[in-house]
Amino acid sequence: MSRHAVITGAGSGIGRQVAKRFAGLGYRLTLVDIDAGSLASTAGACREAGAEDAHALVVDLAAPSGPEEMLTEAWETAAVDVLVNSAGIYPATPFLSLDADTWDAVQNLNTRAPLLATVALARRAIDAGRGASVVNISSGAALRARPGAAPYSTSKAALEMATRASALELGQYGIRVNAVAPGFVTVNSSANPVTEEYATAVSGNPLGRRGEPDDIARAVVWLAGGEAEWITGETLRVDGGSSAGAMNLPLHWATNKAAPDAAAI
């Protein structure tokens, strides 16, 4: 039987492209989202791309019981080999407008849901004597604060620690837990709209182009699979180099001594 991947946030953006990549490898898929319409469209695209099966499951993962409900339904169709936690929200939240409801909504979906989904998968995999592989979708915001993103940045920083904590306790069972942290990726999302002004400001990086969902999907598939069998607890930054350092600063030589002659280097 084909390997079985569960992908959250599969209706749109990064999750949708991750689903299509696994489909191309002939996986059986359980595709999870809160939006039934976009999920049906992804399921159709995955069947066309070669998925053995693409089961669409509408679940609110921000609800306390959502992750357990998802794993119960997915495991009934077949044992799960791969879980990709991509569902996430990144609402613009000016710091002085922050309230408990906004905070809870972001943490519940972005951090609690991936952690509880990993617990739900691990319990079943351990009972069945099977290994498994989890990839959480983090963000460059986990390391770099930005205006209006205090709940979001905090949720992703916590998710990276949850990734390490899960890996530490689950390695003995052959269950790997890793994360991919994308830089800015163009997704045209209705759940997470961003202005062009913001996109331009945030998307500078050494490789000089914006990220596409497939840049992230290829990394997720690699990290989830056997080629990465000795990697766990890791966060792979897939961001065109934007986390490598600060772009657009003047040369510091200019302030204290002459810059080397470029032609002589």
When asked if residue 67 is in the footprint of ligand NAD (CB under 6 A), the reply is no
CB 11 within 8 A of CB 58: no
Measured between alpha carbons, how far is 214 from 19 in angstroms, rounded to an integer?
10
* DSSP structure class, residue 227: G
The interface with ligand NAD within residues 108-127 (CB under 6 A) comprises 109
Applying CB under 6 A, the site for ligand NAD has a residue count of: 28
When asked if residue 34 is in the footprint of ligand NAD (CB under 6 A), the reply is yes
CB 185 within 8 A of CB 211: yes
Measured between alpha carbons, how far is 45 from 16 in angstroms, rounded to an integer?
9
When asked if residue 62 is in the footprint of ligand NAD (CB under 6 A), the reply is yes
Q: Which of 154, 166, 178, 189 binds ligand NAD (CB under 6 A)?
A: 189
Residue type, 65: S
When asked if residue 12 is in the footprint of ligand NAD (CB under 6 A), the reply is yes
Shortest Å distance, C-beta 13 to ligand NAD: 2
Measured between alpha carbons, how far is 102 from 167 in angstroms, rounded to an integer?
29
For tokens 């159709």, the residue is 44
152 annotated active-site = yes
* Sheet containing strand 175-182, strands side by side: 53-58, 28-33, 4-8, 82-85, 132-137, 175-182, 235-238
Q: Which of 191, 217, 219, 236 binds ligand NAD (CB under 6 A)?
A: 191
Q: Which of 3, 21, 33, 178 binds ligand NAD (CB under 6 A)?
A: 33
As beta bridge partners, residue 85 has 136
Shortest Å distance, C-beta 4 to ligand NAD: 19
Residues that bind ligand NAD (CB under 6 A): 9, 11-15, 33-35, 38, 60-62, 86-90, 109, 137, 139, 182, 184-185, 187, 189, 191-192
Catalytic residue set: 152
